[in-house]
Amino acid sequence: MVRGTSAGRSWHRPAAELAGLALGAAVFTWLHNLAGTDIGAATRNAHALQFAERALGMDVELAANHWLAGHPVVSQAAVLYYRLYYLPIAGVLLWVTFRHPEIYRTVRRILVVMAPLALLIFWLMPTSPPRFALPGIIDIVAAHDLFGRTASVDLTNGQNHFSAMPSLHVGWSALCAYAAWLALRGRHPRLAMLAWLFPAIMIAVVITTGNHYILDVAGSALLLTVSIIAATAWKRNRHRPGTQACTIEQPDG
């Protein structure tokens, strides 16, 4: 009976964590969709990014997009990768929640920093994606989507279509890879490095499908880096001896 009770309780923490993640994702989606309303500002910001990329010689989106459009089979694979990317992310989150709880706590801290920062950027800097703001771009997702071809172009469906900067397809994929790398690097260092293929391929997908600029990807990398640094500092501060002493003595005061 004791063993059974202990086994039952072992599910309580992961179940609570997953429920919290689901609630957080719902709130994030709601706030994210509220941000994409200023089409004029989104277009101006997109043109500013295009100008910066041309000045830096980084404006590869149109050529990459036309290459993909000329390869229908690759286009369909890219769209599936773009649409179904949440499946490996969910799988990795489940894995670290149940098998690597310390790494899950690290990921959770990063999420607590990363999600509000992303929302702040979306509110302050709405940005139209290349498929809307860059002449000549072909909307690969709309052309080859198996899950509803109007979803990426319907501006009345309540979704935020003007949050190109930063790319969270790349950001969440990179966070997923970071979690897998942390979990595997000790015993399986080579396998751990393979996890980074997930965001690397996603970068190619979001650029070639006309959904993001090169600078959006750079913004994602910066967002994740800042979030990891902030989460690491947060963890160190919580485990400082003085902080622990205050936490222990607080109830007695």
pLDDT (average), residues 1-7: 49
pLDDT (average), residues 41-58: 96
Give dist(CA 70, CA 89) in Å, integer.
Answer: 30
Could you report the per-residue pLDDT of 135-169, keeping only the tens digit for each?
999 999 999 887 765 656 666 666 889 999 999 99
Question: In the numeric block, which tokens belong to residue 133?
Answer: 């703001």
Alpha helices, DSSP H, located in the chain: 2-9, 12-35, 39-56, 61-69, 72-83, 86-99, 101-124, 130-133, 140-144, 168-184, 189-194, 197-208, 214-238, 241-249
Question: Does residue 174 register a pLDDT over 90?
Answer: yes
User: Would you state the pLDDT for residue 253?
Assistant: 38
Among 108-122, 144-158, 199-213, 224-238, whose mean pLDDT is lowest? 144-158
**Predicted model pTM:** 0.86
Identity of the amino acid at 120: L
Could you report the per-residue pLDDT of 91-144, keeping only the tens digit for each?
999 999 999 999 999 999 999 999 999 999 999 999 999 999 999 999 999 998
pLDDT (average), residues 200-218: 97
Question: In the numeric block, which tokens belong to residue 13?
Answer: 């923490």
Among 7-11, 49-53, 67-71, 171-175, whose mean pLDDT is lowest? 7-11
Strand, helix or coil for residue 163? strand
Q: What percent of the chain has pLDDT over 90?
A: 74
Read off the pLDDT band of 252 (50, 70, 90). Answer: very low
Question: In the numeric block, which tokens belong to residue 6?
Answer: 């202990």
User: Would you state the pLDDT for residue 16?
Assistant: 85
Give dist(CA 129, CA 42) in Å, integer.
Answer: 9
User: Would you state the pLDDT for residue 9?
Assistant: 57
- What average pLDDT does the chain have? 88
Give dist(CA 115, CA 108) in Å, integer.
Answer: 10
183 CA to centre of own chain = 19
Question: In the numeric block, which tokens belong to residue 9?
Answer: 């309780």
User: Would you state the pLDDT for residue 251?
Assistant: 42
Q: What percent of the chain has pLDDT over 70?
A: 86
Among 19-28, 56-65, 212-221, whose mean pLDDT is lowest? 19-28
Among 6-20, 103-117, 156-170, 204-218, whose mean pLDDT is lowest? 6-20
User: Would you state the pLDDT for residue 250?
Assistant: 43
